[in-house]
Amino acid sequence: MVVQVHVLSTESIELSPTLVVSTDKERFIFNVGDGIQRLCMEHRIRLSKLRHLFLTQLSVKSVGGLPGMILTISDTCEKEAVHVYGPPMTQKYMHATRHFLSRPNMSIKTTEIGSCTPAGGKRQIVYKGEVIIHAIPMHCKSKRKHCEISNAGPSEKIEQGFMWQASNVAISYVIETPPQRGKFLVDRAIALGVPKGRMFGQLHQGKSVELSNGQIVHSHDCVSPSLPGAVCLLISCPTFDYIDELVSWEGWNIFQNGEKVVAEEKRNVRVIYHLAEENILSDARYVKWLQKFGDDVDHVILNHFACPNMSVFRASTQLQSQLHAEFPLLIPSNDYERKSIESGEEWTTWMQASNWQRFRSVILGESLLQYTLSPVSQRGFHRGNCLQLIQKPEIPDSGISNPKLDISIPRIIFLGTGCAIPSKFRNVSGIYLLLHGIDAQCGGLLLDCGEGSLGQLYRAVGGNHPMLAQVVSQLQCIWISHNHADHHLGILRILCQRSHVGYNEPLLIIGPTQIRYWLEEYCQIDRSIQSSYRFVDNRVFNPNDSNFDPNHNTRRETLRFLYEKLSLASFLTVPVKHAHLSYAVVFQYAGSLTIDSKEANNQIHKIAYSGDCRPSVDLVSAATDAYLFIHEATFDDTLEKEAKDKSHSTFSEAIQVARNARARHVILTHFSQRYPTMSVSNSDAISILAAFDLLTLPLGELRQDHLLETCRKFLE
């Protein structure tokens, strides 16, 4: 039996560390952060055998991609249950996803681990099949804090102290292969008088046989000793507060070298994957503990400054590189990409300072790195599938030297232009608008926020960490059109990143009621985003639903905020035909389209965004004379019936809606993933553009007729 461990991803802005263990018949995944679904699709990592998902923590980085992953694998396992294993309140997390994840024919089972650390070194077996998986929960030793939920709503409240259990348990896992049966010694069996045939098989299976003369032959007489199974450890140690309990747990003894270990109980650890930051890895307690596992262990570090800094989405990155060479001001550079720096001075200095140089084998994790645990003959690392740097085309001399995104100019950035699920070239919905507030300072408005939006924003700023921190901090509002997962699963990672860069002002989120309930329940599980947002319902801005906010206080206060931060003179939501409580949005931007707020073009510009919908007369009315109309165009014109059945629009329908509204510019988005590129023409006064991921347009320069033909050339 072949047992392999695959590193899907390491720590980065785009992704979080994720491992997959594969056997002949099964797949097991450990942590499912943002973007893993897209990674698996592009790199053809089969999910058909995936039924068991393990979490090391209940945090944004561990579960950000879990709902999307479950939606994807649900199509292949209607008759089989999907099992999710994680810390206390994992079941509550899965229950909270009911607000947007509905698969009535799919059974999801949860196993919660870690209400207490196993006493006496006893390990908890959570799965036993082709491999044995043990869970070892550890608890944060910092002072317990009982926090009240400030924005708790109609979802049920939790008992004091439960939040501590959820956010302060880190689970490490032991993956153990069965012993490898010894070799059957044919010559010895024949010498003992065993006839060829059935008895050979019985002896090899460990059974004793009786010969015709009455002699008993035992398995050990003609089978070499079994080789012990191999062990892989996934160690999760998020902060210093976990170290003491981790290193003192008695259950590690059978995996370590020492006098306390009985030879028959010894387990051979072959590889350890470390989920810990470099300051924890270099802690003297942690290093001393690792030494006890012996010199034959391979160590793989999954989150370290020296790990590769490369987007795992190579097809999109290749296209980005080609288009940047043609349009350096409209498509960001990916020059930030680099391989690991194992030979670099910083890495060498860290290895010496942290005492890691004493370990025989220390590997920097990278995407698609593979380790074979079994069979013994194949054991070791395999790098054949690891990502390679893309050969960058030469950029014609245009007088522009390494252009960077100018975030002082109002502009629109398309983070995701595909529908339903991500593909090689298109992420799911997300549009970032950089606008000027009334004080001429830039602010951000995010229209929909699908899974992976933060990673796309990182690529959009050219991998520049300070600039990413700036645009994340400048983000003033996220507007969500409707409750489908591909439009909002990126919210949590955005909130987490704002906290990470030290920006603590609550982020305004406007959306459907179900999003409010989902966020409230998630806050009860993961306190890290508590008080990081304030929610306003879409219905507040629908003039035909005045009963929802009878005193108009919320509407007035929010409009004042949007005007001050984003120069939005009005903000209107329009009900559209799609899912329950689906809306389009129309707002008037009163700021400048250029750097100079005093220029003549400092006037009202109406911008409309359809969300997902069928063509809408009400939207046409609200968007009349729009400067920019962004409309979904999920299907081409040959699939009009499918568009109607699924409440989407075709290309021609979207363009006609914009024409009816007398829009000056129309940009199409939300394309079915079956279309890598679009074919539209500018045959009349209206400017028509089909968006693609990472396209960055100044709001004052939206007509870019030449873009589409060039993009199409690279995709053919």
Query: Which has more confidence, 218 or 159?
Result: 218
Per-residue pLDDT for 150 more than 90? no
Q: In this structure, are 132 and 257 located in the same domain?
A: yes
Mean pLDDT comparison of 148-152, 267-271, 540-544, 622-626, highest-scoring range: 622-626
SS3 content of the chain, % helix, strand, coil (to 5): 30, 25, 45
Using pLDDT thresholds of 50, 70 and 90, give the confidence band for residue 163.
very low
> CA–CA separation, 488 vs 509, rounded Å?
11
120 pLDDT band (50/70/90 cuts)?
low
Residue 335 maps to a domain: no
pLDDT in tens, 402-418: 566 777 789 999 999 99
CB atoms within 10 A of CB 439: 10
pLDDT for the residue numbered 263: 52
Give the whole-number percent of the chain exceeding pLDDT 70: 87
As a whole number of angstroms, the distance between CA 274 and CA 235 comes to 5
- The CATH code of the domain that includes 544 is 3.60.15.10
Question: 600 falls in which pLDDT band (50, 70, 90)?
Answer: very low
**713: exposed, middle or buried (Cβ count in 10 Å: 0-12, 13-18, 19+):** exposed
Whether pLDDT at 165 is above 50: no
pTM above 0.85, yes or no: yes
Listed in sequence order, the DSSP H helices in 88-197 are 90-96, 162-167, 186-191
DSSP 8-state class, residue 151: T
Pair type for strands 411-416 and 475-479: unpaired
What is the arithmetic mean of pLDDT over 601-628? 93
Alpha carbon distance 514, 484 (integer Å):
10
Cα angle value 84/88/91 (rounded, 5°) = 45
> Mean pLDDT throughout 258-277?
77
Question: What is the average pLDDT across 510-519?
Answer: 97
Rounded to the nearest 5 degrees, what angle is found at the Cα of 313, between the Cα atoms of 526 and 449? 45
**pLDDT reading at 715 higher than 80:** no
Does residue 7 or residue 398 have the better pLDDT? Answer: 7
Look at residue 314 and tell me whether its pLDDT is greater than 70.
yes
Same domain, 349 and 415: no
Domain-located, residue 403 = no
Tally of CB atoms within 10 A around 546:
12
Q: Are residues 294 and 371 in the same domain?
A: yes
Look at residues 363, 382, 401 and tell me which one is the last residue of a structural domain: 382
The verdict on 481 and 589 lying in the same domain is yes
Beta-strand pair 3-9/369-374: antiparallel
- Reported confidence tier of residue 156, pLDDT bands at 50, 70, 90: very low
Mean per-residue pLDDT, 523-538: 91
Label residue 435 by pLDDT band (50, 70, 90): very high
Q: What is the pLDDT of residues 649-664, one digit of tens each?
A: 999 999 999 999 999 9
Average pLDDT of the segment spanning 202-223: 91
Residue at 313 is within a domain: no
**Of 203, 222, 241, the domain-final residue:** 222
Residue 406 within a domain: no
pLDDT at 143 over 50: no
Is the pLDDT score of 564 beyond 50? yes
> 633, 654 in Cβ contact below 8 A?
yes
Average pLDDT over residues 577-603: 80
DSSP 299-342: EEESS-TTS-B--S-HHHHHHHHHHHHH-TTTS---TT-B---T
Token digits of residue 182: 């010894």
- Whether 343 has a pLDDT exceeding 70, the answer reads no
Residue 7 has pLDDT above 80, yes or no: yes
- 199, 401, 465, 425: which is closest to 320 by C-alpha? 425
* pLDDT(161) > 70: no
| Residue 401 belongs to a domain | no
* 8 Å CB contact between 570 and 587: yes
Task: Examine the pLDDT at 341 and tell me if it is beyond 80.
Answer: no
pLDDT of residue 78: 62
Q: Give CA–CA dist 4/375, Å, rounded.
A: 9
In a domain, 312, yes or no: no
CA distance 217 to 209: 5
429 & 489 share domain? yes
Q: How far is CA 547 from CA 65, 268, 534, 535, in A?
A: 37, 67, 21, 18
Q: Which domain holds residue 528?
A: 411-715
pLDDT at 295: 87
Q: Which residue has the tokens 């507040």?
A: 540
Are 481 and 582 in contact by the 8 Å Cβ rule? The answer is yes
Give the model's pLDDT for residue 502.
87
pLDDT band with cut points at 50, 70 and 90 for residue 206: confident
CA distance 370 to 8: 9
CA atoms within 13 A on the CB side of 712: 11
Q: What's the CA gap between 131 and 334, in Å, rounded?
A: 40
Of 152-156, 283-287, 497-501, 685-689, highest mean pLDDT? 283-287
DSSP string, 636-704: -GGGHHHHHHTT--BHHHHHHHHHHTT-SEEEEE-B-TT-SS------SSSEEEE--TT-EEETT----
**What's the pLDDT band for 158 if we cut at 50, 70, 90?**
very low
Weakest mean pLDDT among 182-196, 343-357, 592-606: 592-606
Is 60 exceeded by the pLDDT of residue 145?
A: no
Residues 117 and 190 in one domain: no
Q: Are residues 365 and 473 in the same domain?
A: no
Is residue 320 situated within a structural domain?
Answer: no
Peptide bond into 375 cis (omega under 30): yes
What pLDDT score was predicted for residue 713? 67
* Whether residue 364 is found in the same domain as residue 474: no
Strand 298-301 with 361-364, pairing: parallel
Q: What is the pLDDT of residue 140?
A: 83
Report yes or no on 334 lying in a domain.
no
Same domain (yes/no): 610, 555 = yes
Q: What is the pLDDT of residue 675?
A: 67
For 130-159, letters b (16+ CB in 10 Å) and e give bbbbbbbbbbbeeeeeeeebeeeeebeebe
Q: Token pair for residue 339? A: 């391989």
Q: How far is the CA of 678 from the CAs of 16, 46, 69, 169, 643, in angstroms?
A: 32, 29, 28, 48, 16
How many independent structural domains does the chain possess? 3
What integer best gives the mean pLDDT of the chain? 87
Cα–Cα nearest to 276, from 321, 248, 246: 246
Same domain, 140 and 208: no
| Beta-sheet strands, E only, within 2-113 | 3-9, 18-22, 27-30, 50-54, 82-86, 108-112
pLDDT in tens, 226-252: 777 899 999 999 999 999 999 999 989
d(CA 411, CA 404): 14
Q: H/E element holding 275?
A: strand 268-275
Whether residues 352 and 470 fall in one domain: no
Structure token digits, residue 66: 């879990």
pLDDT of residue 431: 98
Q: By C-alpha distance, which of 480, 467, 553, 490 is closest to 512?
A: 480
pLDDT score at 529: 87
Tell whether the model's pLDDT for residue 121 goes beyond 80: no
Residues 378 and 421 in one domain: no
Give the pLDDT confidence score for residue 242 in this predicted structure.
Answer: 95
